[in-house]
A = this chain, B = another copy of it.
Amino acid sequence: MTAGPARRLLLIDDHQILIDGILELLSKVDEVNVTATASSAEQALSLISNEQFDLVVTDIGLPGMRGAELIAELKKRQPGIKVIALSMHEEQHIVKDALKAGADGYVLKKSTHHELEEAIRKVTKGEVFVSAEVTKMLIDDVKYPSIISQLSDREIEIIRLIVKEYTTKKIAEELFISDKTVESHKTNIFRKTGTSTLVGLTKFAIAHQLVEQSH
């Protein structure tokens, strides 16, 4: 227990019970001192604008703001700050978005608290830490590139319009291109995604988070 200076930690999660539990667990870790908690992105950003923190442990499934967005915003407001994402999601796109946004660690909620504590120790020392399952997923991602990465920007743009219930004609008008071009794109999209109907494509888009879940 080489106690350095206690680190000011901000804990963000919309599940109060989880906050309650983690507070209890981290109270026994002397590397850190949880000085604040927040249950929403807004609250967190407001706190960080008025106070200095060394480390943030944040959920990335908060309602209202995408996790990556929150991380980027936290880093922007306090450039030196370390951020650990604490997430139930181990889907490629979510993890990748978080890391792209600048997360220094990614811990799954299904991990034990020991893993969270290890992440905190490593990240405060300037290292990065991700859960073993996440590492495996990242390797898989290299080995088996996701279908989405094969879609061009234009194709994704068109998928989004399709899922917004635009007809082919409307999409053509929106993008100032020919109906026939849109149809070409749709053909290519169907081929790449392994779908053949708009219903199937809609399910694909939702499953792969190409669109925001309405619900």
Which listed residue (B20, B25, B116, B163) contacts A203, Cβ 8 A? B163
Residues from chain B with a CB closer than 8 A to the CB of A107 are: 17
Given A24-B25, A25-B24, A197-B165, also A113-B17 (CB < 8 A): yes
Which listed residue (B25, B39, B213) contacts A21, Cβ 8 A? B25
Nearest CB of B to A202, in Å: 4
- Please state if B25 and A20 are interface contacts (CB–CB under 8 Å): yes
In this complex, what residue of B is CB-closest to A113?
B20
Cα distance A108–B21 in the bound complex, in angstroms? 14
Nearest CB of B to A19, in Å: 9
Chain A residues 59-91 with CB under 8 Å of chain B are 86, 88, 91
Nearest CB of B to A92, in Å: 11
Chain A residues 187-215 with CB under 8 Å of chain B are 196-200, 202-203, 206-208, 213-215
Given A20-B21, A22-B17, also A39-B110 (CB < 8 A): yes
Given A203-B206, A207-B215, A214-B203, also A109-B165 (CB < 8 A): no
Nearest CB of B to A84, in Å: 12
Nearest CB of B to A109, in Å: 4
Residues from chain B with a CB closer than 8 A to the CB of A16 are: 109-113
Residues from chain B with a CB closer than 8 A to the CB of A39 are: 110
Residues from chain B with a CB closer than 8 A to the CB of A132 are: none
Is A154 at the interface (CB under 8 A from chain B)? no
Cα distance A108–B199 in the bound complex, in angstroms? 34
- Please state if B110 and A199 are interface contacts (CB–CB under 8 Å): no
Is A175 at the interface (CB under 8 A from chain B)? no
In this complex, what residue of B is CB-closest to A88?
B15
- Please state if B202 and A17 are interface contacts (CB–CB under 8 Å): no
A-B CB contact pairs (8 Å), 25 listed? A15-B108, A15-B109, A16-B110, A16-B112, A16-B113, A17-B22, A17-B107, A17-B112, A17-B116, A18-B18, A18-B21, A20-B21, A20-B113, A21-B21, A21-B24, A21-B25, A24-B24, A39-B110, A91-B215, A162-B199, A165-B196, A197-B198, A199-B202, A202-B202, A203-B206
